[in-house]
Amino acid sequence: MPRFASVFLLCAFLVAGVGVASATSRDFEHPASPDTAQQFAVDNVQRQDTPNDPGYDLAEPDDPDSTLNGGAVTPSTNLYDEQFGFFGFPSQRTRSSALYATGPNAGKPQISGFNAAGAWKLERGRPDVAIAILDTGIKWDKESLRLQIHLNKGELPVPKADRATPSSDAGRVPPCSQWQASPNNPYDANGDGVFNVLDYVCDSRVDVNAGPHGVPNEIDAEDLIATFGHCQIQSGEIVQCQRLRQRHRRLGLLRQRQRPLRCLELLCGVEPWLRSRRERR
C-alpha cells in the first residue's frame, strides 16, 4: 500500500475515533439526545449523559463512575444502593426478575423509576421554579434546604445592607459595603441572581438566632419568620409591626393574669381555647 494511502487511512481512523469518543462522552448539562421516552433496551439514551453523582447508578454494570469502567467509585451489586427511582429504564439487576405481566408492555422488564432521566433530557432544572413540599415540618439545620427555601416577597421587606459585616455565611457573600442589588430585583440585595436568605445577612434588622431551631449563627428562613412574621408589608416596606403579646391578647391567646399560653396561634388556632373558656363559664 502506498505510504500516502496508509497515512490517509490512519488519519481517517483517528478522526473516526474522535467522533466516537465525543458521541459517547458524558455531558449531563448538554445531553446528546432529547428523547424523553422510557427505554427498555440495555443500551439506551437514558443511560447516556447521566448525572455526575456517584450514588446515582453505582449498582449498574455500565456505571461510568465505577472502577470496572475506569472510574473511581467502588461498584455495588445491591439495587437499593443506587437511586433507581430516577431511572426511565429497567435496572440491569431486575431485567429478568421484574417483568410486566399485563398491558402494552407485557413481558418487558419493568421500568425502575418515574423517568427523571427522561425529563433531564429536556431540562436539568431551573432556579426560578418553586416546588411545594407537603410534610410534617422542616429541618432548618439541613444545609441542602437552608438556601433553597422559597421566600415570599409579599411577606418580606426589601433587604437592607446596613451592616458592616455579614451576620452569617461570610465566606459565601461579599462584604456588605460591596453589595449592589440587582437593578431588576431589589430583593436580590447581594446581586448574585437569586433571592434567598443570604440577601438578609447584611440587614441589621435580622437576628440570625431569632428562630428557635437551626444551626446557631447561621441564617435560615425561620429567622426571617421570627423577625418579620408579625409585620405588615406593602410594596417591600414595613408598614407596622405588632408586638406579639398585644397580638396574642387581641386574639384571645393570653389571659389577663398573664398565665402561659394554652396553645400557639399557628399550631392549634384560637377557637379551641375560646371554646374551652366558654365551657368553663
Three-class DSSP labels, 209-260: CCCCCCCCCCCCHHHHHHHHCCEEEECCEEEEECCHHHHHHHCCCCCCCCCC
Please compute the mean of the pLDDT values over residues 52-78 and round it to a whole number: 94
* Strands 231-234 vs 237-241: parallel, antiparallel or unpaired: antiparallel
| Close Cβ partners of 54 (under 8 Å, ≥ 6 residues apart) | 65, 73
Alpha carbons 235 and 96: distance in angstroms, whole number: 61
Residues pairing with 241 in the sheet: 231
Please compute the mean of the pLDDT values over residues 176-190 and round it to a whole number: 93
Residues pairing with 237 in the sheet: 234
Angle, CA of 169, 135 and 230, to the nearest 5°: 60
| Higher pLDDT among residues 17 and 200, named by residue | 200
- pLDDT tens per residue, range 245-272: 554 454 444 444 444 433 333 333 333 3
Please compute the mean of the pLDDT values over residues 54-79 and round it to a whole number: 94
Give the CA radius of gyration of the chain. Answer: 28
Residue boundaries of the structural domains of the chain: 24-125, 134-230, 245-280
Greatest alpha-carbon pair distance for the chain in Å reads: 112
> Whose grid coordinates read 446557631?
216
- pLDDT tens per residue, range 96-133: 999 999 999 999 999 999 999 999 999 988 777 777 77
| Higher pLDDT among residues 261 and 224, named by residue | 224
> Whose grid coordinates read 409591626?
241
Q: Quick one: what percent of the chain has pLDDT higher than 70?
A: 77
Q: What is the grid cell recorded at 55?
A: 450514588
CB atoms within 10 A of CB 140: 18
pTM confidence score: 0.55
- pLDDT tens per residue, range 85-100: 999 999 999 999 999 9
pLDDT at 245: 52
Alpha carbons 251 and 247: distance in angstroms, whole number: 6
| Close Cβ partners of 191 (under 8 Å, ≥ 6 residues apart) | 179, 180, 181, 182
- Calculate the alpha carbon distances from 194 to 20, 149, 187, 199, 242 in Å: 39, 11, 9, 9, 30
| E strand or H helix at 272 | helix 271-280
Across the chain, mean pLDDT equals: 81
Q: How confident is the model at residue 137 (pLDDT cuts 50, 70, 90)?
A: confident
| Higher pLDDT among residues 199 and 12, named by residue | 199
| Higher pLDDT among residues 129 and 40, named by residue | 40
pLDDT at 246: 53
Residue 167 pLDDT > 50: yes
pLDDT at 244: 58
Q: What is the grid cell recorded at 150?
A: 422559597
Residue 180 · residue 191 · CB < 8 Å: yes
